[in-house]
Amino acid sequence: MKSLSVLVLGCLMSVTSFAAPNSGRVAEKADRVAMELRYRGHELSDSQLNLINKSLDTIRRVLDGDLDQGADLRLICISRDNDGRSPYVLAKREGVNTIRSVAVYNSVQDCENAIKTARVIGDRALVCSSKDDDGREPTVLTLLWLDASKKIPYSITTQADCADNLKLMRPDRSNVVTFCASKDGDSRNPFVAVSLNLNNNSVQKSTAAFNTIAECRQFLK
């Protein structure tokens, strides 16, 4: 219950910090819900608490400018070489035709998992894919929007680090996200901080380098 109350208060603080015309009513409603949870939380069943927790997670993503993960991107997985075999690519279906992206995977399972774990921010989606178009590591962040796709420069990491980058990134008010990646493009240390502007897809990397990706992520906090 304590964690639920903390999350409600965090959402409330975020709402009041961005003073939009309707923010007063939203903040007032959030305040009432937070207060009711404090006093009635012990009366709620586990199923009720789970539903409330899921709703709060959705609110958190909205405040972060992030849509639901796994949203309908109209993406499918097809054979890269049109032979029904590995490797596979993410593609968008348009009627009976498909528009292939540059996101390549070693198996159908890896490709389908990329769709499920995609980060959707505004009209763009970010996924992890193979850097060398062979479906294997190292991994690169790939941006998909409309009918286009692009591998993000300076975003090379291991698959695990790329997955963590997707989970950790939060767009700021200018629609810029930051993450950490390999400085030398080999998925190994040293690491640098990278910013990606989702308005124009421009990328910039930091001048400072870090021995571990954890140190780099601490730098971004």
- Output the DSSP codes for 47-92: HHHHHHHHHHHHHHHHHTT---TT----EEEEETTSSS-SSEEEEE
Question: Using CA atoms, how far apart are residues 130 and 184, in angstroms rounded to an integer?
Answer: 16
Stronger pLDDT, 216 or 94, i.e. the higher one: 216
Q: Is the pLDDT of residue 136 over 80?
A: yes
Question: Using CA atoms, how far apart are residues 6 and 174, in angstroms rounded to an integer?
Answer: 27
Cβ–Cβ under 8 Å, residues 187 and 156 = yes
Question: Using CA atoms, how far apart are residues 210 and 213, in angstroms rounded to an integer?
Answer: 7
pLDDT value at residue 68 = 45
Q: Is the pLDDT of residue 14 over 60?
A: no
Q: Is the pLDDT of residue 128 over 50?
A: yes
Question: Using CA atoms, how far apart are residues 134 and 130, in angstroms rounded to an integer?
Answer: 7
Average pLDDT for the chain: 85
What does the pLDDT average to over 146-171? 94
Q: Is the pLDDT of residue 103 over 80?
A: yes
Confidence (pTM):
0.69
**Per-residue pLDDT tens digits for 32-69:** 888 888 888 888 888 888 888 878 867 766 666 555 44
Q: Which residues on adjacent β-strands are paired with residue 143?
A: 126, 150
